[in-house]
């Protein structure tokens, strides 16, 4: 395995691991603060119990996320010193704001988790609100740094050096808004559906328990709204990518030849040699419409891009299909949920419906991982799009593969332990919270 | 502007040493004192440890935004010890949280404790080795030197190893003094006080050894030290506080505030003294000019934005931090 591949894989493993915890860290505080607020308003024990049960899980996820985030702040330099040498001064600003937001999040979470008996109820609730706000902000700041890699701005590149640096312009680059919206919604969809799914599963095992019913409801209120909005934000992102990164759009749609109009290719396996997509469904003019808003518009294909600048088409295309498929499925389920909860509430307790929700448990996170793969592999071979190639940024220290092996093993083990630990925590809900036993 | 950023970097470094260091040290104390101390230590650390460790992230962010060349070079040549620090941070954070939150007591707790203790020791040792490598001057960016001279020799030597042990010992000392005020049980208090005294002596001995090892490795630390008056003053303060802290440790009545203040000033003095010797150098480089704050600073536009972010950030963070400590530390005293 060569060192470049090892470094890229290590980054993929570290970010793929961290993104799950980051999503949870952005969403769960909102769900907890909402649930606590309902308790403060109604005085019903069940809402308090839900908040407390969730907070036990969040404490574990948050600690792991804090650790894997710290690891990333080092890995950027350990693996990509040439990138950080040039980019540090340009995108340091979102990172320094992220640092601040994360700091506030860590402090407020400490207060929230351990302050139950020490603080006034409303002060306690406020700390939860503060965790929510700072959690979402810190996510957005990091995404803004990533958006800069897709859409470099705020500097001039002269003879292999950045000059005339403008950190504010760099932070508010062309891609930041569409990426920030898409990622925040994704965090809400994935986490809320995972939470709802787990409680739906527990409801299937223990029918009619109020605790789980309310938990599913609280999670889905946020999850369903986010999931319905997500395709709209996805469309906004796609149009943005079409404008800024035609090579990425061509790769994720596996569009080999510039076409007018361009078909929307659904599914299938791209074949770089024959420059065609096997076993795919074609919708005439579909891509022209989605990318440019016009059924007859021309869409640039990979033939406009020199072959050495092609992203890996297979991975990007398949990940994109997976993300979109799940996105639409969850949006559909969410629409059903909204309709049912307005008109036919009894359906929400039906076994088949709970099965659907339980089935959706991992889907959101799979979509997050797939979407992350799309944006990262779709940018290749660039680390800073059009400016610096990934292979020129990698550390020249020999033997990077060993740190890749070690990190991979550690994260695999951690994933196993966390899964096992969560099962253990969930199995004890019924012992600790009286409302989890009542019907 | 640069000076202000350097000061904030220094302050976050000091706070990380004091707060994060005490966290690491608590793991070391636990290793020596055993199972019964686990509870006090967990209870003391749980609400604050995450916030304590964010000071390190802050220092990293300042380094890679304000002095990107330093960050890039360090993470290039000191890849291996930094990787070890990372593994330590991963193991420690997760093991501690799992131990605290896993509702089942039993065999798994033994593993969590083991990992927590081992990583509480290893991480500061490697942190100290990294600091040692930065000042020793064996670091070189000349690629023709071969793997060993470039990526191993700068940090794997007796001076850096002594620095590592010194760091771990200093953290254990900090932690045990803090812990004296965390327990209400007299027997435990005496144990921590005793540990504080032992680790104080060990820290002093290792501190002397750092100077000796520096000479042995051909780095004239003593001479540079004797030329810096502020450093000498700082060291005198740190040394004079020793007997005073010793005295309070012997008192049966709880003198938590004096103890914590004393040890805080002591460690701060050591760090400030060290900064005075080092400034403005960040990395000493072999056979080439060193990397300083001045020759690695980011462009003015970046420094300006960084400073704004830091000041606004600290204005938000510090009241929060004070509140956190008031709720969980002062009130329980």
Q: By the 8 A CB rule, do B116 and B27 touch? A: yes
Of B69, B85, B87, the CB nearest to A85: B69
Most confidently modeled of B103-112, B140-149, B192-201?
A: B192-201
The residues in A 305-364 lying below 8 A from B, measured between CB atoms, are: none
Residue B37 has pLDDT above 70, yes or no: no
Residue A320 has pLDDT above 70, yes or no: yes
Residue A409 has pLDDT above 90, yes or no: yes
Residue A46 has pLDDT above 70, yes or no: yes
- List CB contacts (< 8 A) between A398 and chain B: 147
Determine, for residues A102 and B65 on separate chains, whether the beta-carbon distance falls below 8 Å. no
Pick from A54-63, B36-45, B156-165, B167-176: least confident: B36-45
Q: Is B152 at the interface with chain A, CB within 8 A? A: no
The residues in A 401-430 lying below 8 A from B, measured between CB atoms, are: 403, 406, 410, 414, 417, 421, 424-425, 428
Give the residue among B127, B131, B124 at the shortest CA–CA distance from B221: B131
The residue among B187 and A414 whose pLDDT is bigger is A414
Interface probe with A: pick from B70, B71, B112, B331, most Cβ of A within 10 Å: B71
Residue A293 has pLDDT above 90, yes or no: no
Interface probe with A: pick from B4, B23, B74, B86, most Cβ of A within 10 Å: B86
pLDDT tens digits for A158-181?
Answer: 888 888 888 888 899 988 999 999
Tell me the percentage of chain A whose pLDDT exceeds 90.
Answer: 45
Tell me the percentage of chain A whose pLDDT exceeds 70.
Answer: 100
- Model pLDDT, residue B202: 93
**Longest CA span, chain B:** 62
Domain total for chain B? Answer: 1
Q: Is B305 at the interface with chain A, CB within 8 A? A: yes
- List CB contacts (< 8 A) between B75 and chain A: 74, 77-78, 81, 84, 395
Determine, for residues B71 and A428 on separate chains, whether the beta-carbon distance falls below 8 Å. no
Q: Is B243 at the interface with chain A, CB within 8 A? A: no
Chain A to chain B Cβ contacts (< 8 Å): 209
The residues in A 136-165 lying below 8 A from B, measured between CB atoms, are: 165
Determine, for residues B50 and A69 on separate chains, whether the beta-carbon distance falls below 8 Å. no
Residue A35 has pLDDT above 90, yes or no: yes
Q: By the 8 A CB rule, do B154 and B111 touch? A: no
Residue B331 has pLDDT above 60, yes or no: no
pLDDT tens digits for B262-290?
Answer: 888 999 998 998 888 888 888 888 877 88
pLDDT band with cut points at 50, 70 and 90 for residue B333:
very low
User: Cα–Cα distance between A349 and A328 in angstroms, integer?
Assistant: 23
The residue among A204 and B329 whose pLDDT is bigger is A204
pLDDT tens digits for A416-427?
Answer: 989 988 888 888
- Closest chain B residue to the Cα of A131, Cα to Cα: B320
The residues in B 42-81 lying below 8 A from A, measured between CB atoms, are: 46-48, 50-51, 53-54, 56-58, 60-62, 64-66, 68-69, 71-77, 79
Give the residue among A312, A313, A320, A418 at the shortest CA–CA distance from A369: A320
Count the Cβ atoms, other than its own, within 10 Å of residue B244. Answer: 13
Interface probe with B: pick from A6, A54, A69, A74, most Cβ of B within 10 Å: A74
Mean pLDDT over residues B161-181, rounded? 90
CA distances from B128 to B17, B93, B146 (A): 11, 19, 25
Q: Is A69 at the interface with chain B, CB within 8 A? A: yes
Q: Where on the phi/psi map is residue B290: left (φ > 0), alpha (ψ -120 to 50), or beta?
A: beta
Mean pLDDT over residues B56-80, rounded? 88
Determine, for residues A114 and B79 on separate chains, whether the beta-carbon distance falls below 8 Å. no
- Model pLDDT, residue A423: 87
Determine, for residues B54 and A92 on separate chains, whether the beta-carbon distance falls below 8 Å. no
Residue B45 has pLDDT above 80, yes or no: no
Of A59, A66, A107, the CB nearest to B324: A107
- Model pLDDT, residue B263: 87
Determine, for residues B302 and A93 on separate chains, whether the beta-carbon distance falls below 8 Å. yes
The residue among A223 and B45 whose pLDDT is bigger is A223
Most confidently modeled of A82-96, A127-141, A240-254?
A: A127-141
Residue A223 has pLDDT above 50, yes or no: yes
Q: Is A113 at the interface with chain B, CB within 8 A? A: yes
Residue A122 has pLDDT above 70, yes or no: yes
- Domain span at residue B246? 2-330
Determine, for residues B58 and A73 on separate chains, whether the beta-carbon distance falls below 8 Å. no
User: Cα–Cα distance between A352 and A329 in angstroms, integer?
Assistant: 16
Mean pLDDT over residues B19-26, rounded? 87
Q: By the 8 A CB rule, do B214 and B71 touch? A: no
Q: What is the mean pLDDT of chain B?
A: 85
Q: What is the mean pLDDT of chain A?
A: 89
What is the four-CA torsion angle of B305, B307, B308, B313, rounded to 10 degrees?
120
pTM of the model: 0.90
- Model pLDDT, residue B36: 67
User: Under 8 Å CB-to-CB from B319, ≥6 apart: which residues?
Assistant: none
Give the residue among B269, B264, B256, B260 at the shortest CA–CA distance from B207: B269
Of A60, A93, A410, the CB nearest to B305: A93
- Model pLDDT, residue A130: 93
Residue A99 has pLDDT above 80, yes or no: yes
CA distances from A431 to A10, A198, A425, A427 (A): 40, 17, 10, 8
pLDDT tens digits for B217-274?
Answer: 888 888 888 888 888 998 889 888 888 888 888 876 667 778 888 888 999 998 998 8
- Tokens representing residue B152 in the block: 């191993």
- Closest chain A residue to the Cα of B151, Cα to Cα: A397
CA quadruple B13, B18, B22, B28: dihedral sign: positive
User: Under 8 Å CB-to-CB from B249, ≥6 apart: which residues?
Assistant: B177, B180, B193, B196, B197, B259
Name the minimum distance, in Å, from the CA of A387 to any CA of chain B: 18
Residue B330 has pLDDT above 80, yes or no: no
Quickly list H helices, A245-305. 246-252, 286-292
SS (H, E, C) chain B: CHHHHHHHHHHHHHHHHHHHHHHHHHHHHHHHHCCCHHHHHHHHHCCCHHHHHHHHHHHHHHHHHHCHHHHHHHHHHCHHHHHHHHHHHHHHHHHHHHHHHCCCCCHHHHHHHHHHHHHHHHHHHHHHHHHHHHHHCCECCCHHHCHHHHHHCCCCCHHHHHHHHHHHHHHHHHHHHHHHCCCCCHHHHHHHHHHHHHHHHHHHHHHHHHHHHHHHCCCCHHHHHHHCHHHHHHHHHHHHHHHHHHHHHHCCCCCHHHHHHHHHHHHHHHHHHHHHHHCCEEECECCCCCEEHHHHCCCHHHHHHHHHHHHHHHHHHHHHHHHHHHHHHHCCC
Determine, for residues A424 and B86 on separate chains, whether the beta-carbon distance falls below 8 Å. no
């Amino acid at each position: 395995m060569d060192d470049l591949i090892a470094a890229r894989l290590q980054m993929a493993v570290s970010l793929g691991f961290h993104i799950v915890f980051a999503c949870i860290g952005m969403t769960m505080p909102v769900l907890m603060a909402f649930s606590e607020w309902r308790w403060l308003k109604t005085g019903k024990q069940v809402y308090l119990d839900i908040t407390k049960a969730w907070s036990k899980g969040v404490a574990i996820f948050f600690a792991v996320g804090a650790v894997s985030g710290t690891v990333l702040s080092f890995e950027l330099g350990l693996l990509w010193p040439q990138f950080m040498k040039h980019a540090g001064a340009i995108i340091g600003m979102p990172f320094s704001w992220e640092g601040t937001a994360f700091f506030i999040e860590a402090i407020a979470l400490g207060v929230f988790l351990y302050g139950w008996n020490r603080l006034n109820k409303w002060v306690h609730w406020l700390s939860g609100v503060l965790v929510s706000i700072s959690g979402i902000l810190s996510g957005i700041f990091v995404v803004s740094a990533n958006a800069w890699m897709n859409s470099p701005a705020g500097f001039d590149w002269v003879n292999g050096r950045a000059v005339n640096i403008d950190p504010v312009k760099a932070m508010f680059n062309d891609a930041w808004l569409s990426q920030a919206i898409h990622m925040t919604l994704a965090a809400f969809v994935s986490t809320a559906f995972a939470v709802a799914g787990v409680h739906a599963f527990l409801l299937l095992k223990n029918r009619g328990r109020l605790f789980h019913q309310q938990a599913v409801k609280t999670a889905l209120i946020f999850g369903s709204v986010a999931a319905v909005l997500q395709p709209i934000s996805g469309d906004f992102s796609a149009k943005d990518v079409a404008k800024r990164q035609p090579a990425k759009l061509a790769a994720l749609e596996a569009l080999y030849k510039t076409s007018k109009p361009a078909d929307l290719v659904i599914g299938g396996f791209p074949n770089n040699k024959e420059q065609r997509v096997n076993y795919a469904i074609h919708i005439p003019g579909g891509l022209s419409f989605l990318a440019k808003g016009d059924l007859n518009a021309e869409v640039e294909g990979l033939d406009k891009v020199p072959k050495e600048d092609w992203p890996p088409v297979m991975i990007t295309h398949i990940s994109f299909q997976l993300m979109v498929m799940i996105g639409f499925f969850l949006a559909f389920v969410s629409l059903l949920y909204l309709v049912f909860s307005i008109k036919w509430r009894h359906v929400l307790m039906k076994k088949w419906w709970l099965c659907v929700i339980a089935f959706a448990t991992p889907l959101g996170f799979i979509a997050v991982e797939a979407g992350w793969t799309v944006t990262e592999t779709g940018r290749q071979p660039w680390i800073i799009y059009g400016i610096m190639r990934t292979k020129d940024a990698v550390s020249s220290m020999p033997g990077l593969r060993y740190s890749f092996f070690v990190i991979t093993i550690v994260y695999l083990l951690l994933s196993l332990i966390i899964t096992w630990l969560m099962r253990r925590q969930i199995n004890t809900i019924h012992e600790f919270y009286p409302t989890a036993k009542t019907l | 502007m640069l000076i202000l950023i350097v000061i904030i970097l220094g302050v976050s470094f000091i706070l990380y040493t004091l707060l994060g260091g005490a966290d690491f040290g608590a793991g070391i104390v636990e290793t020596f004192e055993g199972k019964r101390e686990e509870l006090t230590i967990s209870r003391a650390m749980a609400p604050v440890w995450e916030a304590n460790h964010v000071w390190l992230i802050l220092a990293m962010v300042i380094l890679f935004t304000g002095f990107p060349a330093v960050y890039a070079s360090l993470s290039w040549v000191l890849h291996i010890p930094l990787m070890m620090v990372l593994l330590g941070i991963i193991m420690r954070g997760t093991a501690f949280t799992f131990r605290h939150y896993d509702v089942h007591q039993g065999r798994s707790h033994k593993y969590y404790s083991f990992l927590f203790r081992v990583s509480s020791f290893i991480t500061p040792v490697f942190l100290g080795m990294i600091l040692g490598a930065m000042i020793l001057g064996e670091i070189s960016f000349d690629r023709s030197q071969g793997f060993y001279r470039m990526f191993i020799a700068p940090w794997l030597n007796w001076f850096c190893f002594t620095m590592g042990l010194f760091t771990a010992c200093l953290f254990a000392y900090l932690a045990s003094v803090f812990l004296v005020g965390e327990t209400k049980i007299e027997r435990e208090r005496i144990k921590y006080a005793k540990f504080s005294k032992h680790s104080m002596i060990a820290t002093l001995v290792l501190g002397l050894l750092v100077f000796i090892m520096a000479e042995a490795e051909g780095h004239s630390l003593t001479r540079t030290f004797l030329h810096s008056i502020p450093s000498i003053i700082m060291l005198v303060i740190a040394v004079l506080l020793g007997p005073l802290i010793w005295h309070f440790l012997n008192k049966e009545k709880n003198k938590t505030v004096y103890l914590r203040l004393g040890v805080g000033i002591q460690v701060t003095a050591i760090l400030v003294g060290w900064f005075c010797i080092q400034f403005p150098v960040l990395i000493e480089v072999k056979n080439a000019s060193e990397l300083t704050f001045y020759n690695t600073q980011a462009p003015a536009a970046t420094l300006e934005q960084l400073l704004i972010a830091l000041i606004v950030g600290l204005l938000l963070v510090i009241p929060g931090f004070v509140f956190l400590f008031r709720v969980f530390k002062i009130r329980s005293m």
